[in-house]
Chain A
Amino acid sequence: MCFATKPTFMLVPRYDSPGDYHMVDQLPNLGREKEMLDAMGMSSIDDLFADIPEAVRMTEELPLPPPQSEEEIISDARRLLGANVALGDRVNFLGAGLNRNYVPASVFQLVTRGEFLTSYTPYQPEVSQGMLQAMWEFQTLISELVGLEVANLSVYDGSTAAAEALTCAVRVHNRKAEQKDTVYVSELVPPSRRSVIHNYTQGGGIEVKTLRHNSDGTLDLNSLSQAAGSCGIYVEQPNPLGILDGGLTRVKEIIGENTAFVVGVAPVSLGVIEAPGNYNADIVVGEGQALGSPITYGGPLYGIFACTKTYLRQMPGRIVGRSIDVDGKEAFCLTLSTREQHIRRHRATSNICTNETLIALMGAMHMSLLGPEGLAKLAQRNMAACQLAKQKLSEISTIAIPHRNNSHFNEFVVELPGSAAECIAYLDTQGLIGGFDLSAWYPERKNWLLVSFSDQTKATEIELLAAHLAVWSTSLVQGVRA
């Protein structure tokens, strides 16, 4: 203990080791407590907490480690996070809805500008025009991408976007619906997304029924007519098996005007695939991540939410509108706030307050750099990698591609001669993150491996996957025969 070198800290006797001074670079008034307390006529910090009754006071110190300096923290972070296997360390075929697209360096550089990073929700528009305009532009980029009139400035992720879309559909359609409080969701939607949908819909007493798919993975349009008269249906394009389903263009005519057609999209695919708004989707949602954001262990991401004007006043989340200031100059502000919790309280369209603005901003920056043709090329690169892989893997006689005659984006299913879990474990030993074991989603599909390809996938990596799958499956088949 050496107070001689740090005399100001003598005011705070609790600090008894130099190690405890590390937050000195975070607290400007550390060591000036007495001066400030004197000004208020108080004698100690305890006076400031005298209003907390003794019975509920914490009497022990927090049983936590001592403070650390920045250098020690980064060192610990590097040690801990460095022990992880990053996707970039390996040859990676794991996607399942999250894709490791390249995000240009300028996006990361710009998004850390403090004026964006350290601002709050733009409640004071006069000093928040930058973020407001950026989000208004984001809304435009998304509207154009999905082919719908209105987009908000993000919800949490693709799963909550889907859930919010379904509750929104019920609010809009329930009065006229023949099947009250009922929505339909594709049976392929993974349990994790379905669980989010359940949590968001159960409170409103909404029943979630299931839409069947054909054996080739496409939506069963014959049984779809049962959903007519419900409040809405949710399907994905590409679907969770990576299939691009042309049949979805006929959905709206089957379910009818008063049932919301909600489509979950992979946004990059829309560089080559028709915007769902153009085949009469009412609400388009999706996981925005592939545009602008790293995967970051599944969050933060951003959920896309776009719709026709029919749903505008029942949609969740923040919306920026263009306006004018008192001089008649163009200006932007949050609008339609009367839908929201801070005004409407328990009658709000959603409880969402904090959203994913900064990640949406990264999305806007990425989209701005891509431009229309850049998006198309990005989509083509993703699709070409997927298609090349399908061709290469279909040459292996010991594995099958059950939906091979369909069109795929980013991913497809490989049917193995043994368990997908064992195959992934084998590929792990060979330095490959081999894909996703679909039995986690569909328990009866023990041998289904979902393999994913993005713009980052190289032809040589596809060759490597094919070679390892051939070795593993052949040894398994021969082992069985022997």
Chain B
Amino acid sequence: MSHLFEHEGADGKGYSQPDPVAPVDNLQIPSSLVRAKLPRWPRLSEPEMVRHYTWLSTRNFGIDTGFYPLGSCTMKHNPRINEVIAQLPGIADIHPLQPDHQIQGTLAIFHEMQDMLGICAGMDAVTLQPVAGAQGEFTAIRCIQEYFRGRGELGRTKVIVPDSAHGTNPASAAMAGFEIIEIPSREDGRIDLDALRAVVGDDTAAMMITNPSTLGVFEPEIAQAADIVHEAGGQMYYDGANFNAILGRTSPGLMGFDAVHYNLHKTFSQPHGGGGPGSGPIGVKSHLAKFLPGPVVKRRPILAGDQLTSVNKEWWYHWHQPENSIGKVQQWHGNSGAVVRCWAYYRRYGRELKTMSEHAVLNANYLRHKIIEEAEKIGVRHLFADGAPVDVVKHEFTISMAPMKEECGIGAMDIAKGLLDMGYMAPTVYFPLIVPECMMVEPTETESKETLDEFAKKFVEVLQEDPEVLHNAPVTTKVRRVDEVYAARNLTLSYPFDE
């Protein structure tokens, strides 16, 4: 049975529950609020429910299933110990309104995470509250907004983003009320300093940029860009989506940034879970610290009368409200479960986080090299073009299928679908927008050399495939090419009970 809602078992199927603690024949419910008709939910026994979701899982592709080179998403292996730790009652079964003395262990972990993230990015203060990268962007932009309001610089109403930026950058700044100024990238995909100079001014609030860029290329002139923005009185915001490339080798602080968000679900292995939960802490330089959403964790030496536990023999950990806090972006303390998972992840590497980034970059460059090499072996290199004219890339690289599109009508999406038939997840397609027919490939550090070698071969095999076959791909998947236009024109957003 493929549909959940076709399970119409007997009344009360499902898991058995104890009886209520008191009779329910006289529940006080206002007469206007008595539910007239229960939801049309299915009725499944546990074996049926387990089989349904297991069946669904077999129709889904994860990192555990196979190579997942989805650019910009950092689909690295998710260590399982992190899941075990996140289910310990000391995190899964605690409440955000418990007093500090009952949660010293969690606060100690949070404090360590704030410190670690600050160190890695060269920032002075960190909040763990934002629950996703986009929310981190929004939070940091709000802090910058309040910073300028505090200084009476109310005319700073514009945020600059390169045309290669992630869509969340302009969306987050617009949500905070800023006008977006998009600047074109240079022909080679790098930031155009002249274009930047032309738009900065006393109306500039901030520039939002990621480095390495969405082309996977390090912006060598990033410090100059920061100088240009700072000289105009603006702030520099670092989109941490690509942080996996540079950890321990450089930092947003060294590059001149004032604020940064971290994608714990990218760099620090919080599982993506099919679209979330993530976690998007932000770090800021000291001048922005007092605006952070509150509270943040602080510690002080133990005083007489503190309730000591095995955790806090030296320090007392406590929540602290920043002086001019922008308030809350999530009602509690953010995605704490994700923070604890990522604490376990960071502990695995410790000061060797740099090695993680080195291997991410090693793998990306190696794969890029192998694809070019495999293509040259059989003389098909003209079918694709490098997304960026550089000797080395960072954690990801882009390929343009524009030559192939022109020659035989095969676009990036066709190649993507062909790769699905080979048993791979497809790279990101059609992003960044500035590379025509773009495929964005990010292998991550957790793939073996053999996997990369094999993928390079298969990728070139797909390039040589009969165009008709590729237009038809995929054919080996659970369903074949899905008609997205049909879905939008015939909106069926829930089970049609009457059908």
CA distance A383 to B137 in the complex (A): 41
B133 close to A125 (CB less than 8 A): no
Known: A121-B272, A350-B175. A385 touches B22 (CB 8 A): yes
Could you say which of B60, B102, B486, B495 has the most chain A C-beta atoms within 10 Å of its C-beta? B60
Q: Which chain B residues border A356 with CB–CB below 8 Å?
A: 276-277
Interface hit among B197-205, B297-305, B349-357: B349-357
Closest residue of B by beta carbon distance from A327: B480
A49 close to B61 (CB less than 8 A): no
| CB of A402 closer than 8 Å to a CB of B | no
Range of interface residues on chain A?
A: 35 or more
CB contact between A67 and one of B348, B359, B431, B449 (< 8 Å): that residue? B348
Can you list, as one digit per residue, whether each of A36-67 has a CB less than 8 Å from chain B (1) or not (0)?
11011000010111111101111001111111
CB contact between A372 and one of B34, B43, B445 (< 8 Å): that residue? B43
Q: Which chain A residues border B448 with CB–CB below 8 Å?
A: 28-29
B40 close to A372 (CB less than 8 A): yes
A-B contacts besides A128-B59, A381-B19, 4 pairs, CB < 8 Å: A67-B348, A122-B275, A193-B331, A365-B49
CA distance A76 to B109 in the complex (A): 10
B59 close to A133 (CB less than 8 A): yes
A115 close to B62 (CB less than 8 A): yes
Closest residue of B by beta carbon distance from A336: B488
Can you list, as one digit per residue, whether each of B341-374 has a CB less than 8 Å from chain A (1) or not (0)?
0001011111111111011011101100110000
CB contact between A84 and one of B27, B28, B104 (< 8 Å): that residue? B104
B273 close to A358 (CB less than 8 A): yes
Chain B contributes a number of interface residues (CB within 8 A of A) equal to: 204
CA distance A23 to B474 in the complex (A): 37
B355 close to A23 (CB less than 8 A): yes
CA distance A127 to B62 in the complex (A): 9
CA distance A354 to B479 in the complex (A): 25
CB contact between A137 and one of B309, B344, B495 (< 8 Å): that residue? B495
A135 to chain B, nearest CB (A): 8
A322 close to B487 (CB less than 8 A): yes
CA distance A18 to B75 in the complex (A): 28
A137 close to B477 (CB less than 8 A): no
Closest residue of A by beta carbon distance from B66: A127
B106 close to A84 (CB less than 8 A): yes
A297 close to B12 (CB less than 8 A): no
A235 to chain B, nearest CB (A): 13
A299 close to B338 (CB less than 8 A): yes
B43 close to A384 (CB less than 8 A): no
| CB of A478 closer than 8 Å to a CB of B | no
A342 close to B41 (CB less than 8 A): no
| CB of B250 closer than 8 Å to a CB of A | yes
B249 close to A49 (CB less than 8 A): yes
Q: Which chain A residues border B332 with CB–CB below 8 Å?
A: 98, 157, 192, 297-299, 301
B487 close to A124 (CB less than 8 A): no
Interface residues of B in 131-169 (CB under 8 A from A): 131-135, 137-138, 142, 166-168
Could you pull out 14 A-B pairs where Cβ atoms are within 8 angstroms? Answer: A28-B449, A56-B222, A64-B346, A73-B344, A83-B104, A94-B95, A116-B62, A126-B478, A129-B59, A131-B275, A137-B495, A323-B490, A361-B273, A373-B12
| CB of B426 closer than 8 Å to a CB of A | yes
Q: Which chain B residues border A358 with CB–CB below 8 Å?
A: 271, 273-277
CA distance A244 to B495 in the complex (A): 30
Known: A66-B350, A126-B477. A77 touches B88 (CB 8 A): yes
Known: A37-B362, A40-B366, A342-B167. A156 touches B93 (CB 8 A): no
CB contact between B95 and one of A62, A87, A125, A131 (< 8 Å): that residue? A87
Can you list, as one digit per residue, whether each of B43-55 has a CB less than 8 Å from chain A (1) or not (0)?
1101001101111
A116 close to B274 (CB less than 8 A): yes
Q: Which chain A residues border B480 with CB–CB below 8 Å?
A: 126, 325-327, 329
CB contact between A365 and one of B53, B176, B483 (< 8 Å): that residue? B53
B317 to chain A, nearest CB (A): 11
CB contact between B330 and one of A76, A160, A352, A375 (< 8 Å): that residue? A160
Known: A58-B248, A70-B81, A383-B27. A299 touches B35 (CB 8 A): no
A116 close to B273 (CB less than 8 A): yes
Q: Which chain A residues border B90 with CB–CB below 8 Å?
A: 80-84, 86
| CB of B464 closer than 8 Å to a CB of A | no
| CB of A114 closer than 8 Å to a CB of B | yes
Known: A119-B62, A351-B171, A371-B13. A383 touches B24 (CB 8 A): yes
Q: Which chain A residues border B366 with CB–CB below 8 Å?
A: 36, 39-40
Q: Which chain A residues border B52 with CB–CB below 8 Å?
A: 368
CA distance A309 to B351 in the complex (A): 52
A150 close to B493 (CB less than 8 A): yes
Interface residues of A in 292-344 (CB under 8 A from B): 294-301, 312, 318-327, 329-336, 340-344
B17 close to A35 (CB less than 8 A): no
B277 close to A65 (CB less than 8 A): no
CA distance A159 to B40 in the complex (A): 27
